[in-house]
Amino acid sequence: MYHENTHPLVKHKLTILRDAATPQQLFRELASELTMLIAYEAMRHLETTPVPVNTPLAGTIGCKIKNDIVIIPILRAGVGMLDGMLSLVPYARVGFVGMYRDQETKQPVPYYEKLPRDLKDPHFYVIDPMLATGRSIVATIDSLKEKEFDTITVISLISSPEGIKTVEEAHPEVDIYTGSIDECLDENEYIIPGLGDAGDRLFGTK
């Protein structure tokens, strides 16, 4: 199931993020802030367990997150969302998945994967600023499931209807949280109106 965050702050910050005139430093800051806002909602359903805690005045029962949190940025643009995620859950474990798109077949080609070990009931958050075709996201989820990890959530800043459909058809139980569902993909499979190439704008490359 997909969830579009319609909070006014999300829409305001996305508007600045989209602007071609937004400088690189501000783009990075906004990407991190938007990630926090979207991830906050995405983590609403995490399970907790009760724990005793002593305040300065009395003892009480608090709670802590039950599951190991694992953040999986898809290289390279997903790295631009990592600081935002870690601002919310600084104790989270982090893994990395590298994918590039074959220019002829337009299919994702994996080239790198590094995941944490010794996980306890992990909840994986796959992050990528742009959910465009959805193929890289699906390939990443496929790889996680092959390792018997099946509690997975996807977080993106902007998504296309086509990409959401691709992920939902392949993995209908995986929730998708996004800041905007845009109009469509163009002939080059870029999101319209989108914001251009997120990796280039994050890291100053072309």
The single residue of 93, 101, 151, 175 carrying the catalytic annotation is: 101
The single residue of 105, 117, 118, 121 carrying the catalytic annotation is: 105
* CATH number of the domain enclosing 162: 3.40.50.2020
pLDDT confidence band for 107 (50 / 70 / 90): confident
Is the distance from CB of 19 to CB of 193 less than 8 angstroms? no
pLDDT confidence band for 106 (50 / 70 / 90): confident
Q: Give Cα 30 distance to the centre of its chain.
A: 14
Task: Specify the pLDDT at position 102.
Answer: 77
Any catalytic annotation for residue 101?
A: yes
The single residue of 19, 150, 186, 200 carrying the catalytic annotation is: 200
Return the CA Rg of the chain. 18
Domain count, the chain: 1
pLDDT tens figures, 75-91: 989 999 999 999 999 99
Q: How far apart are the first and last CA of the chain?
A: 34
Residue in the block written with tokens 């965050």: 5
pLDDT tens figures, 164-191: 999 999 999 999 999 999 999 999 889 9
d(CA 187, CA 3): 26
Q: In this model, does residue 26 exceed pLDDT 90?
A: yes
Percent of the chain with pLDDT over 70: 100
Task: Specify the pLDDT at position 82.
Answer: 96
pLDDT tens figures, 150-165: 999 999 999 999 999 9
Any catalytic annotation for residue 105?
A: yes
Question: Which residue range is the domain that position 147 belongs to?
Answer: 2-203
Any catalytic annotation for residue 200?
A: yes
